[in-house]
Structure formats: structure tokens, C-alpha cells
Amino acid sequence: MRSMNQPPPNRQPSRQQLARSATGPARQVAIEIVDETGSTNADLLARAPGLAGPVLLVARSQTAGRGRAGRSWQSAPDASLTFSLAWKFDRALPQLVGLPLAAGVAIADALHACGVDARLKWPNDVLLDERKLAGILIETAAARDGIWAIIGIGINLALPPALAERIGATAAALPQLAAAPDDLLAALLNALARALTEFGDAGLAPFTQRWNALHAWAGQQVRVLDHGQVRQQGAAVGIDDSGRLLIDSADGRVAVLSGDVSLRRTGAPPCCS
């Protein structure tokens, strides 16, 4: 009998099937699937000056996946869904500050449509049962008439022993969806394309209430760490329309910008930095 930690026989995503499943603004996205690359984000960043429109780049295997603050993103063939979406915004760079939060809402919406009760942790993690299921890394490149955002996403589909050891005990996975990556990826692409279109029109404001409704640690005691030092602590409230985390501290309510800070629950083991 196959362990639930092992990936089931995996049918790889199909470009043709994804294109047929695209709806609304996702229909304008060019879809590319490669067997292996270093980093889908790095690939699209290098190509950004020559891109004519939005591109989804999916890799079966990434050998140099990246996370926030210079960390590596651990993945394995048949056990992870790794992809990046290049999307151009007619906005100045400071107006993209809340983009990871809007992308998180889109990912959670897509997972909910697939029967997964995903929650969000500020600023860019997707959790399942208090464990990290997915991460988001957004990098940008200047365009002649706007900004290219490269939205990199990694989702754990299974946790075979070697991958689980590299990631640690705080990871979650979706073995029930690993055999049908087309359905999950199509849901993610459609949700992201809708959200990015909405963000381009109105910024973060339409997503604030939706993010707060998905907030995994609402009301819990948290610490904000900056290079290992506690910067703020108190009860997590939610986010404001600028994407700042609101915390009720001993000195009153404070708003924290993301930057390279990490969020931890007070008294809990390290999780999802």
C-alpha cells in the first residue's frame, strides 16, 4: 500500500488542457511547461524585457527554487507544483506593495474550490492545518510602460521522506490532488488572473476584508522578528489597505511593514517563516 506521504502516480500538467480550462483574463496568458529548470522566477525575470504579454511558466522540477529573504524553496518532482506567472501592471512599484497578499487570497480561493480549507499567514504563506502548504515570492522588473511582476508559487503536493526531511516537520501537502495537477493548476491560473486584473484596477483595497477572513492567526499572540530580534509583539489583528499587519501591542495598535521580517506565534515552535 502506498503511504500518504508518497506522491501517487502523477499525470503532469498539460499545456493544451490548461489552455482549454482558462477562463476570463487567464485566456490571455501564454502557457509554457518545462521538465526542469533552475528557477521559474529567474527565467521569467531574465525574459521580462522581451515579453509581449503574461506568461505562465510551470516546471516539473526546480533545482534552484527561491523563497523570501534569500531562502531556498525545497521541492521534488511529482511531489511539488512549482510555477511563476509574469504579469505587467500599469502602476508604479510602490503601488505593488500589497500584491503578495492579493495573490494569497487568489490561491486560497482556488484551493477552497478544490476542497482544501487553506488559510493565510502574513505576509506570503498559505497554511493548511497550521502548517505551511504554499509560499509566494514576487519579484519585479521595469517595463517601458509599467512594471512586470513575476509571481512565483510553490505548493507541496506530497511529502516523500527525503523532501520532508529537507523542509521540516511544519509542512503540509495535498496528496489527494497530486494525481490531477491540471485541475489544480487551472483553478490557480484562473483565480490569479482574475485577482491580478482586479489588483491592477483597484490595488489591495478589494482584497483586505477577504484576506482578513482567511487570516490563520487572527487574535493570536505573535512576535515580529527582524534578523532574529523581536521588533513587535502582541495580538495579531489583520491587515490594513496598505498591506501592513496590525498588532495590538502593550503600547497600543501598531502597523508593521513586511520587508524581510518574520512572524511567529508567541510560545509556539518555529513555523512558516
The tens digit of pLDDT for each residue in 152-175 reads: 999 988 876 666 666 665 788 898
Q: What average pLDDT score do residues 250-271 get?
A: 76
Quickly tell me which residue has 502597523 as its cell: 255
Task: Tell me the CATH number for domain 15-213.
Answer: 3.30.930.10
Does pTM top 0.85 for this prediction? Answer: yes
Which ranges in the chain belong to alpha helices (H)?
Answer: 15-21, 40-47, 99-113, 161-167, 181-202, 205-213
106-152, pLDDT tens digit by residue?
A: 999 999 999 999 999 999 999 999 999 999 999 999 988 899 999 99
Domain locations along the chain = 15-213, 221-265
Topology of domain 221-265, CATH: SH3 type barrels. (2.30.30)
Helical (H) or strand (E) element with 131: strand 131-143
Q: What angle do CA 120, 75, 136 make, to 5 degrees?
A: 30
Measured distance CA(191)–CA(109) in Å, rounded:
7
Q: Above 50 in pLDDT, residue 7?
A: no
